[in-house]
Amino acid sequence: MADRWVIAYDVDTAAAAQGQVTVMTVYNRIRRALALHGFQEFTQLSIYAMDDTDNALVRVHQALQALQGLAERQYIKRLHVFKIDGALNDVLPIVAGHASAPANGELEAAAE
């Protein structure tokens, strides 16, 4: 597994439900902003990843700036960026005795 950058966040769904947009609109606008800067691997509703390639840290910064420009940022209650070392982060062998399934992008890379 390759090294990856991850952005994870939580939305204040109660506040968003009382706002001018739907909760799904908040998630979709955040998703679109992140995807424009390389965070296209959608792991869960609020966890996005991208490979650690050239200029990855620049794209992380650009993604954060894009989020700063969203009106919906007011509904983000937690936001974290972290880098995962691909060689050391699979702990499923400890728990279940086998490696984790490959991520979406890794299936295509393995086929090439």
CATH (one of 3.30.70.240, 3.40.50.300, 3.30.1490.440, 3.50.50.60) for 4-87: 3.30.70.240
* pLDDT of 5 strictly over 80: yes
Strands (E), the chain: 4-11, 41-44, 47-51, 76-84
For the segment 34-63, the average pLDDT, to the nearest whole number, is: 90
Asked whether 87 and 1 are in contact (CB, 8 A), the reply is: yes
Is the pLDDT assigned to residue 105 strictly greater than 90? Answer: no
**Quick one: pLDDT at residue 93?**
85
For residue 106, pLDDT over 80 is answered with no
| pTM, two decimal places | 0.77
